[in-house]
Amino acid sequence: MIQNIKNVNYLNLMKHDFSLELFIHSNNVANIAMKMADEIKLCAGEKQILYEEALYHDIGKSKIPEAVLYKKSRLSPDEWEIMKQHTIYSQELYLYVVDNNGNSTEKARIIRHHHENWDGTGYPDKIMGEDIPLHSRIIRIADIFDAITQRRIYRPYRIENPLNLMEEMEGKEIESYIFRKNYYLFKRLLANQ
């Protein structure tokens, strides 16, 4: 699923501060987000912006202690609070590695909000519904899809019915419209795994 990556800043950051698992996950999320963008008919320029935002969405995890990031059991409440900081760190690191201008500030805002939930229960700012930027909502769904269809350090098995799980999240963690517009895309992706 990994496309050719042309962003030199991203490659340099990944080479020094990112695990292979997170590198692959970020690429998967960016590629899934691009396919989702096709389904909801985003224009080419928007898709290019979305790709970059999705690629950088988890770079802040490079600042999370490895004992928390790679813990094989459930995180404690304190550890979970540390983990939730990765969205803010991702925003900060993105602004650090790119030319800081109005466009990069907006992209950083999208990256910050990729764990906001449709119902307002997400983080870091607990925004909800259409107050969550469109690209953040797309990345949220792509992120969840990749996370639940791949083995993880804390879950070395695949979830048996990932679309059923996503249906349970519909209208809560994820926006129903975007999920439904991409439902058959997810079915196709699952069939190819």
The per-residue pLDDT for 15 is 46
Give the sign of the dihedral formed by CA 61, CA 138, CA 31, CA 192: positive
Has 172 been annotated as catalytic?
no
Q: Is residue 152 part of a domain?
A: yes
Q: Is residue 76 part of a domain?
A: yes
Q: Is residue 94 part of a domain?
A: yes
Q: Is residue 3 part of a domain?
A: no
Domain of 23: which CATH number?
A: 1.10.3210.10
Q: Is residue 1 part of a domain?
A: no
The per-residue pLDDT for 155 is 62
Number of independent structural domains in the chain: 1
pTM: 0.89
* Cβ–Cβ under 8 Å, residues 86 and 56: no
Q: Is residue 2 part of a domain?
A: no
Task: Share the mean pLDDT of the chain.
Answer: 88
Q: Residue 182: which domain range?
A: 8-191
pLDDT tens, residue order, the chain (193 aa): 334 444 555 544 544 456 778 888 999 999 999 999 999 999 999 999 999 999 999 999 989 998 999 888 889 999 999 999 999 999 999 998 887 777 899 999 999 999 999 999 999 999 999 999 999 999 999 999 999 998 766 665 677 899 999 999 999 999 999 999 999 999 999 998 7
Q: Is residue 146 part of a domain?
A: yes
User: Distance between CA 20 and CA 159 in Å, rounded?
Assistant: 21
For residue 39, the SS3 value is helix
Name 137's Cβ contacts closer than 8 Å, sequence gap at least 6: 118, 174, 175, 178
* Cβ–Cβ under 8 Å, residues 139 and 53: yes
Quick: pLDDT tens for 23-45: 889 999 999 999 999 999 999 99
* Cβ–Cβ under 8 Å, residues 151 and 158: yes
Q: Is residue 131 part of a domain?
A: yes
Choosing from 15, 35, 61, 126, the catalytic residue is 61
